[in-house]
Every structure is written in C-alpha cells, then in structure tokens.
Structure 1
Amino acid sequence: MNPFQEAQTVPELRYDEIQVGDQASLTKTITDEDVINFAKLTGDVNPIHILDSFAKTTMFKERIAHGMLVSSFISTILGTKLPGKNTIYLSQNVSFRAPVKIGDTLRVVAEVIKKRDDKKIITLQTNIYNQSDDIVVEGTATILKKE
C-alpha cells in the first residue's frame, strides 16, 4: 500500500473519546537504509551516522542513528494512532537518553497524561524504548485535536 492509500485508513478519535491513560505504540527496527535516507533528506551527514571508520573512533564504537530520525516516530503515532486524523502537533520536548544503533528495534509509546477541555489540547508522555527496554528518547508532546 502506498502512502496515499494508507492515509485513507488513518483512524480518527474524537476529543471526548480520548481519556487520560490511553496509550498507543508502534515498533520499528532502524535500518542502514533509514539512516542513509534521513541523511540525504536532511543534509545531516555527520560522520557518526554515515562512516563506519569514523564511528569506530568514537565512544559509541559504531554508527548511531540520528536523534531526530528516532524521535520522528513519535509524530507517526500521533498522526496515525493516538489521536490520529486531525491532530495538530503544537510542541514536542525530547531528551536523548541513549544511542540508537543500526539494527535496534524500537518501541515507541505515547500515553495521554493531561487534557485541557476548553481548548481541546492534549499532553502525551512520549517515550521510545530499545529492544532491551531501555529508554532511548523521553519527552512530552502537546497536540490540538481538531474535529
């Protein structure tokens, strides 16, 4: 299915259907192709992401994924799962807690922690875990739920 077809299947939750404690998650394995494509798209060709020879000389000893590539999957959850269609991303706070390496399998989780009924604003805890269940990205997102 191409992105245009997939966009037709995105669910929409109404503001009043969303409760504090609601969660959504997705799983993504970071590939070499993901990292290279992100570098091409953004122009961020920092050698820690691209060059094995350079990465071996760093504290990580191997290439790591761009932090913004990893955190971009938070947007995926908000726009396609919770709340889904008609979500307006207002802000995102992130802390990068641990490196993500090529081949890491990530679990991205968003949980509703606050609602502001007068403006239909929702705050979500947004964490990303690696395959060892270590938090690699931690943050909060604020969205506006349009109806």
Structure 2
Amino acid sequence: MGERHLCNDKNFDEIKVGDKVEFYENIDMNRHVKFRDLFEDFSPVHNDKFIAKRTNYDDVIGYGFMLNGFLSRLYGEYLPGGTSICIKQESNFRRAFYIGDTVKIVGKVINKIESTKFLVIETKMYRNSDELIFTGKGIVQIIFDNFNSIK
C-alpha cells in the first residue's frame, strides 16, 4: 500500500471552533465483504437478501460499525490530522445504508479544551449526500502540536 499524506498539519492553536471538513466514501460489495471477513460478522441482515427482505429493509444493510472506521480517517487525516488519538466516541446509528451508497462524512470542531489539547468534534454522515444516517461526537487529543516538527 502506498503512503498517505496528511491533509491537515495544523497545530492546536491554529484549529478553531467551527472548523469543518467533509469527504466521501463509496460502499461497494468489495468493501462490504472485506469488513465482513475481517470481523467475521456473517449476520443474515448484512448478508442474506431473503432474510433482509423479510425485515423492514429492502436489501442487506451495510455494517454500522464500518461508519466508525471512517471516523479513524476523519480524525487521523483531516480533523485534526497528524498525531492525535481519539479518547472517546459517541455513535448514533440513525438509519440504514446499503451497498452501492455513497457516504458523506462531516466533522466540525465544536469545542477546544486548552489544558488537555482536546478537541470536541461533532460528526455526521449522510447516505447519498442528503439522508442523515449517523450522528456522534468525538473527543480527540492532539499528542504533538505540529506533525512536521517530529519528522
């Protein structure tokens, strides 16, 4: 795999309440199967069309915890990016998503705690850009104030 480059190398003081980022991820069958196989979750609601059609869903639904995985990318590459760790994550799975959907991931800084270098980040995700499927709040701590200073 190739090396990824950080999209944000701001130090704590440069990050402001109200800073916001968004990016998009496509949920294809390959990604769905990789998640299933990695975590060994073969639940019928995620893998059996016949069972899924007997529920309130039209098709097999995507794995909700895959959405949490996108938060790792949000915090690690975009907001704040660099050398930060997630201390706490609140996750609310509001609606289902499906294979073939595009998920928009949005993060917005809603608070900064100077003494601990914690950022409180509101997270939302949308199915096909407009249907809210996830809300949450993360607390992220910046470990190093400037990623480039440790290279």
Q: TM-score, normalised by structure 1?
A: 0.93
Q: 2:22 aligned to 19, 22, 25, which one?
A: 25
Q: Residue type of the partner of 2:114?
A: D
Match of 1:129 in 2: 126
Which residue, out of 34, 57, 67, partners 2:31?
34
Moved over 6 A (4+): none
Q: Deviations over 1:79-138 (max 9, x none)?
A: 011111101110110111100111111110000000000110000000001115121000
Match of residue 144 from structure 1: 141
- SS across alignment from 1:100: coil
Farther off after superposition, 128-137 or 106-115:
128-137
Partner of 1:84: 81
Matched, 1:98 2:61: no
Q: Partners in 1 of 2:72 and 2:23 — Cα distance? A: 11
Q: How far did residue 72 of structure 1 move?
A: 1.5
Aligned length: 143
RMSD, matched Cα = 1.1
Q: TM-score w.r.t. structure 2 length?
A: 0.90
The 1:132/1:119 distance shift into structure 2, 3 A limit, reads closer
Q: Percent identity?
A: 29
Alignment of 1:109-124 (within 5 A): 109-124=106-121
